[in-house]
Every structure is written in structure tokens, then in C-alpha cells.
Amino acid sequence: MKGHRLPFSGRPHPSRLCRTLLAVCTLVGAPLLPAQQPASPPETMSAVAPTLPPDFPPLPPLSDTPGSPQTPAQPDSLQKNVIPAAPLTPPAPATQSNDGAGAERLSQIDNYTITVADMGQRDGLTLSGGQIQSGIRFTLPHGQVVTQAKLYLVFSASSTLAEEGNQLYLMLNGQPLGSIPLAESSSAPNTYELDIPAAMVVSNNNLSFSLHNQTDLLCATSDDAQHQISILPETRIELTNQLLNIDKDLGYFPRPFFDPMVMGKSAIPVVFGAHPSASTITAATIVASFLGIHANYRDVYFPIYQNRLPENNAIVFAMPGEKVADLTMPASDGPAIQIIDNPINPIYKLLLVTGRNEEELRQAAYRLSTARLPSGQDRLRVQSQTIPQRQPYDAPRWINTERPVTFRELVNQPDDLTAEGLYHDSIHINFRAAPDLFMWDGQNIPVRINYRFPTESWIDEDASLLNVSLNGTFLRNLPVNKIGLLESAWRRLGGDTRQESYGLELAPYLIYGDNQMELYHNIKPKPGTPCEVLRSGNIKSTIDGSSSIDLTGSHHFSMLPNLSYYVGAAFPFSKMADFSHTQVVLAAEPSAAEISTLLNLAARAGNSTGLAINHVQVNLGLSGNLSTLSDSDVLVVASLTQRGLMRQLLQQSPYNIGDARLSLKTPSMHDKLRRYLSGQWSQQYLTADRYLSSIGGWRGFLSFPSPWAKNRLVVVATGSNDEQIEQIDNDLNLTKINAGIRGDMAVITADGGVKSFSVSPQYPGGQMPWYLMIIWYANQHVVILSLFAVLISVLLGIPLYRLLSHHAQQRLARQDHNNTPDRPV
């Protein structure tokens, strides 16, 4: 990889004095706005190439070594026109305190790195053919001032672009950063290091790239690799930020504990006393699910601190008067929420969630998850309120199956259904569905797409198409005009033959728990179209908001257990989105890794359904709690080192536990015969047992029918030890691992592989009309149906045979009598 270090060029950057003045101004400026909305998901932008200013000099490579420590050239003078184009969101003023922390509130430094992959472009950006500009947006956390910024640009360019003297221009928030002569690059990945003036980096940023040449190459419409440059996903921006001491204001929540502006993975520390109770863990689980809703597409995880405080922002769950490290919880006569300075470092804050018992802690957690906290207060006495229960399958983020759903209901704003310019990103329609949707073979899902292409005369309407795909599977190309002899003749005569609506039929297997439909207006210009027309962004392609998808023909029905349902949508627990029919079981003395894993799984559940799990119930151990499991699905989080819990849990399951190793019981002949008769032909006991005995450390999931309730399920998140179980959250963020988890036993090993098996008996879950259930049972239980048919045939055949035999004998007897000649008298 070829490396270069580039000084900032173009417009001179401010001196250190100007940076200091900017930081001071932000400190005394307007306060941080608590009502600010989360940042939109990152998006790729294709815009019109800007007119490049005359002071846009090239950035010559200074070294062949990445990160060469040469000092960038300093400007000779200051200019006043270096203010970034994007608005600067001022942070909150520093809190005045009497503890002597004022001198150190500007000394806290935080390093923040964000890659192009973190910005949402996992495959990077590509400039090719006529698409000469592309860009990406990224956001930064609140309450911080950037003091140093560097861009590490990693790209590869085709040899054709390099030979013809092209240059790559970089801009940040409308301000030029510099240019890179592609003639000095190679076809292998090239690395350039660029110092960025700190004042140019603001809370919401636009980093753009464009190609420039004096020839007509940029008017080319070919997308071949000969005219292509790729900005690789490992391109990154490294920032050094100064943290600000914001006010102790509940109105900022969920900031500063979770900032929606952070685009990478966020850590949210959670603090308990020396011995966390079921009540405090229950409250933490509810809050974790709420923060998972806010995380949306971002990743969050919850490090656990027991009887100690982190030097960071953290959420503390405890009883009034309880001592956590050197911090004593404030006295309270009811549920309360309070924000205080972290005694380790007052720049950071602690959110105290307290209650005298489980109900009060649940009330405090529910208050956090349902409404915005009041501004200007650092303490809130929570009033008692009724926590409503949800209905089955009413998760806010799951698509409605009782009526057709329009596309305008599935996007954040109407503009999301519009694409501007000749080169643009696809229009994305995202929706989640309950994972147990069931349709018969031959039934399809109707999708009505209403669309429009621009009417410009330079568009080749015969070659332009609307590309439609779902979850990466190509569905169809929709034409601009109707196809047919009569339609073609009418169009030649000047008639209107535009096709602006089309009905698709989707096969049921194409619908997953999390879905994305992509619609791309692939507009082709006619030969000879002028360059300025191709670069114009004054055309719009649209998908009408009245387009719809209709799932009314589906039913909620499936065979359980199925771990793919759990990892994809926390099902069957999320059938009731508030987990009102769910019991969570931890060991009597759970480890920090087990509690952290539970909170991570709760955040994923909230992210899937869009609702906090306000009715979840956490139990420590199984002793004395078996009655609570009689009408609930059970989620267990425990490593195999919790032998007492695991032995009791797995006693009536297909598994054995011994010496922190898992094995499978040998099924009896009766069990095998019963599964064969029920149509479950795939029995992998021996294969799974051999695999478990051949590996060392592992983590994963087990699932089996609940021994405490009929038609209820147990899901176990486990691992050979704490180090293994705490890796489950990272595993579930990997597409390959997530897709490989299925069946009722999934084992993930250190090499990142996953093996899935089916070893538990299955049962049908859900509801269908009775006549469909008869057909389904007949289809699933072919062996039993065949045996039943044979038995019925035997039972009916034997008496029928005897009846017919008797009838035949009587008939023959009459014939013999009639054929006997009369004797003479």
C-alpha cells in the first residue's frame, strides 16, 4: 500500500489563537439543545460537481511511508472566509461548581475515530463513468470541541484515470481540502494523510469527493472499471476532542449516556452494588431495551460495574441508601431519577435510578422509557402510573398484516421517495415483519409500485429501467413505457404510453424479519447528450407514497423452536412486545459478563420491536420460582460454569451438563419413534454430540420446549465461560454468524464459525383457521396419516369383506337352487 502525507492546502486554516477563541465562544454560547433529534442514518450523496475555486492547489505526496511525521506547511496569513458551510451546534455552557473542577473541565481529551464503513458505506464509495462526484455524511457527539483532525484517505484508481491526468478533489462542508493528482497513484490501494483544520469539523458534516480533468473524459457514461476510482471503506477520520462539562439536566437524556450522533459502537456503562438484585437487574433490562430503540442501526453494548464507578458517564441502579463504591444513594420515599456529577471526574455524569422495591424500580425505568424527562431539573420524583400491556404482534416496528401498508408509512419523510439527478443512490424501503408469517405454497404477496421517470427529451426511454430488488434478490426491471405493438405504435404517433404502476407478486420466502426493498431509476441518456445536461441535478425520479405491500393473506404460524427467529427478532418473546409473557432467569450470583449479555440482548429486542420491554421479569436462580414459569416463555443467560442452575434447567431437556461441558442425552426408542411419526426426520443427536466433544471454548444458543408449560419455549444464551458468553453480542453483529444460526442448537467457536443442529422435539406455534390446521397436519404428518389410512382400511375392510363374502354365498346358493332340475313325480 502506497502512503503519502499531505498538508492542508487551499484556503489557509485558522491559527491556534482563532481555534482557542472558537472554543471559548462555544463554552459561553447557547446551551446544548435537549430536544434535538437523532441524526439521520448515513446516506450517500451524488451531487452536481461544484465550480472549483482558483485557490485549490494540488496536494503533492511528501513521503512513500504512511503516516510520515512531516509537519504540514503553515499559511502565511489568515483569511476570514474559512467558516464551514455546515452550521455549528454550540455545546452547553460549563457547569459552575465549587469543588475546584473548573480548572480541569477543559483538560479531558477524547480520541474519536470513524471510518467510511462506520458512516454507512460498508463497501466504500465508487466514482465511475459520468458520476464524477459522491459524498457521505457523518456526525460527531455533542458536548465536545474538536481540537485536532486528520483524514486517512485510502483509495484505488484505474490506470486509465491515472494516465489521463485526472485529479481527485476533496471537500468538507463545502470547503476545499485539497487535490490529489492520480498520475502519482497506483492501481494498488493508496494511502494519503491529510491534516484538517479543527474549525471545519462540526456536529453534522459532509465529506465529498470529485474527479476533475480538462478533457471530456468526465462526460463519459461508461461504468466500466477503466474509468473508476474507489474510496475504500477503511478510509477514516481521526479526531481529538475536548470534552465539555455540560449541565446536570435530565432533559438531555438519553445524552450524555447515549448520544445518537455517535456513528460507531457506543458503550453505556451500567453500575450496580456489590450484589445486584433481581429488581435492579429488571430495571436495567427495561432501560437497556429503551436505549436499543434509540440506537436503531447503531451498535450499543453495556459494560457492567459492580460496586465500583467508571471514569465515564454511567447509569446506576440501586436502592435508596445503598452504597455503591464510595457513593451512597440518596434517600427517597418512592421511585426517583437523578443526575449527578461523577465523583471520579465531574466532566462525566451519573444517572441514578432508584426505588425501594421491584415495583418502584420498574416505575422509574418505565418513566425513563416512555416520555421526555423535564428540562432544567436534576432530580425527578416519579409518580406511580399503570403500565399498560400490549397485544400479540402489535410491535410498533413490525409491518401491519391486517391491511395493505403504503410506502409513505415505511419512510421517515416524503423526500426519501425521491431521487435527484442522473446519478443517485437507490430509494430504500425498510420494514420489519414478525418472523413467523406463514403462507401456503402458491400464495404470493402483492406489491403495488407506483413510479415516475423524468420527462426530459434527452432520456433514452427504451433503455431506462426501474430496478427492483428485495434483500439483495433481484425481482424485476420495470420499463418507462408500456410494452406491446399497439403501445409502441401509439407512442410513435405521439400518444402517452407511460407505465407508472405495476403489480409484483413476491414469494413468501423472500420476506425476512428485517427487510430492505431497493428501487433504482436507472436512467440512460441518449447518445450525444451535452455534458452540462448530464451533470445537471434538476431532474427528479419518484416512487409514489401510495405504493403498497399487502400481507393480509398471511398467518402467524410456525414450528418451534427455531433460533433464527430469536436472533432476528427476539421471537417468541417479542410476540408480546413488552415481554409480558417472558421470564428471564440468571444464576443466583450472576457474573458481570452474564448481566452484560442480558442487557445487550434486551437492547436488540427493543431495536427489533420499537418498544421497551416494560413487563420483563428477571429471576435469580430457579429455586422457589417454578410457579412463575408456568405460563411464560423463558430466557436464560448463564455460562456453563453456573453448574447448579444449568443442571436444574437442563434436567428435562435433550442436554446433559457435567464438569462445565455440555453433551447430549441418548434418546430412547420411544422418543425416536414419536419424532419419526410426527414427521421430524432430521435427528442430529450423534452429530451434535460429537461436535461438542471435539471443541474447546464456545458460546451460542440452545432452545427446547419448556418443561414447566405446554407450548412454551426456553431459549438459553450460554458459553463455556464468561469470556465466551460476553462475545455473543459481537457475534450477533456479524451477518455471517447471524445468518448461520438456525435450528434449536447453535455453537459459535473462536474461529468465528457457527454450527447449527436440530436435536429438540418441535411443536406448532401460532394460530390458523381450523380447516387449514387439518390440511397442515395432514401435510406434516405423512407417516401417521398413512398408518391411519391403513388402519381405517383394515377396520372397514374386514367386516366389509365378510359382508360381501356372505352375500356372495347367498347368491351362489340361490343360483344352485334355481339350476337344480325338478325330480319326476
11 close to 171: Cβ distance less than 8 angstroms: no
158 close to 227: Cβ distance less than 8 angstroms: yes
235 CB-near residues (< 8 Å, 6+ apart): 115, 116, 124, 151, 152, 153, 154, 155
- Measured between alpha carbons, how far is residue 326 from residues 246, 301, 320, 549, 681 in Å? 23, 25, 14, 57, 60
Is the link from the previous residue into 7 a cis peptide, with omega within 30 of 0? no
Predicted local confidence at residue 45, as pLDDT: 38
Confidence of residue 702 (pLDDT cuts 50, 70, 90): very high
Angle at 777 between CA 775 and CA 783, to 5 degrees: 115
Domain layout of the chain by residue ranges: 109-243, 250-381, 404-553, 556-766, 769-810
Tens digits of per-residue pLDDT, 632-652? 999 999 999 999 999 999 999
590 close to 306: Cβ distance less than 8 angstroms: no
Domain 109-243 sits in CATH 2.60.120.260: yes
Nine-digit cell string for 572: 417468541
Identity of the residue numbered 635? L
Confidence of residue 86 (pLDDT cuts 50, 70, 90): very low
Q: What is the mean pLDDT of the chain?
A: 83
Mean pLDDT of 354-381: 95
Give the separation between CA 450 and CA 502, rounded to whole angstroms.
7
Question: Of 351, 366, 166, 375, whose CA–CA distance to 285 is shortest?
Answer: 366
Give percent of the chain above pLDDT 90. 54
Mean pLDDT of 734-762: 90
Give the separation between CA 515 and CA 430, rounded to whole angstroms.
6
Residue in the structure block whose three cell numbers are 393480509: 552
Confidence of residue 158 (pLDDT cuts 50, 70, 90): confident
Q: Does the pLDDT value for residue 496 go beyond 90?
A: no
Domains 250-381 and 404-553 fall in the same CATH topology: no
Radius of gyration for the chain, computed over Cα atoms and rounded to the nearest angstrom: 33
CA neighbours closer than 13 Å in the CB half-sphere of residue 406? 11
Nine-digit cell string for 432: 420489519
Mean pLDDT of 713-720: 96
9 close to 178: Cβ distance less than 8 angstroms: yes
**Terminus-to-terminus CA distance in the chain, angstroms?**
128
- The H or E element containing residue 663 is strand 661-664
569 φ/ψ angles, rounded to the nearest 5 degrees = -150, 20
Give the separation between CA 11 and CA 23, rounded to whole angstroms.
21
Which of the listed ranges 6-20, 42-56, 705-719 does the model predict with the highest average pLDDT? 705-719
364 close to 612: Cβ distance less than 8 angstroms: no
Predicted local confidence at residue 681, as pLDDT: 62
Give the separation between CA 161 and CA 408, rounded to whole angstroms.
42
Tens digits of per-residue pLDDT, 386-419? 999 999 999 999 999 999 999 999 999 999 999 9
Confidence of residue 476 (pLDDT cuts 50, 70, 90): very high
Predicted local confidence at residue 821, as pLDDT: 64
336 close to 300: Cβ distance less than 8 angstroms: no
Residue in the structure block whose three cell numbers are 391411519: 788
Tens digits of per-residue pLDDT, 601-635? 999 999 999 999 999 999 999 876 677 888 899 99
Q: Which of 96-100, 323-327, 757-761 comes out lowest in average pLDDT? A: 96-100
Q: Does the pLDDT value for residue 282 go beyond 80?
A: yes
Question: Of 319, 278, 268, whose CA–CA distance to 584 is shortest?
Answer: 278
Runs of H (alpha helix) within 175-306:
278-295
Residue in the structure block whose three cell numbers are 439536566: 249
Question: Of 656, 658, 652, 661, whose CA–CA distance to 719 is shortest?
Answer: 661
Confidence of residue 371 (pLDDT cuts 50, 70, 90): confident
Tens digits of per-residue pLDDT, 781-815? 777 778 888 999 999 999 998 898 988 888 888 87
Tens digits of per-residue pLDDT, 764-778? 888 888 888 888 887
- The H or E element containing residue 402 is none
Residue in the structure block whose three cell numbers are 465500583: 308
> Which residues, in sequence order, are bridge partners of residue 191?
3, 154
Nine-digit cell string for 684: 442430529
- Measured between alpha carbons, how far is residue 392 from residues 25, 501, 567, 581 in Å? 53, 34, 19, 10
Confidence of residue 532 (pLDDT cuts 50, 70, 90): confident
754 CB-near residues (< 8 Å, 6+ apart): 700, 731, 736, 737, 740, 741, 746, 747, 748
Q: Which of 16-30, 159-173, 182-196, 607-621 comes out lowest in average pLDDT? A: 16-30
More reliable by pLDDT, 234 or 225: 234
Evaluated on CA atoms 625, 630, 634, 636, the torsion sign reads: positive
Which of the listed ranges 25-29, 49-53, 68-72, 472-476 does the model predict with the highest average pLDDT? 472-476
Q: b/e for 251-276, b at 16 or more Cβ within 10 A? A: bbbbbbbbbbbbbeebebbbbbbeeb
Tens digits of per-residue pLDDT, 10-32? 333 333 334 433 333 333 333 33
Predicted local confidence at residue 215, as pLDDT: 55
Q: The domain 250-381: what is its CATH number?
A: 3.30.379
Q: Which of 121-130, 340-349, 494-503 comes out lowest in average pLDDT? A: 121-130
Q: Does the pLDDT value for residue 679 go beyond 70?
A: no
Q: How far from chain centre, in Å, is Cα 283?
A: 24
339 close to 378: Cβ distance less than 8 angstroms: yes
Predicted local confidence at residue 129, as pLDDT: 64
Mean pLDDT of 459-481: 94
Mean pLDDT of 34-41: 39
Confidence of residue 3 (pLDDT cuts 50, 70, 90): low
Give domain 404-553's CATH number out of 3.40.50.1010, 2.60.120.260, 3.30.930.10, 1.10.3860.10: 2.60.120.260
Prediction pTM value: 0.82
Nine-digit cell string for 394: 402489535
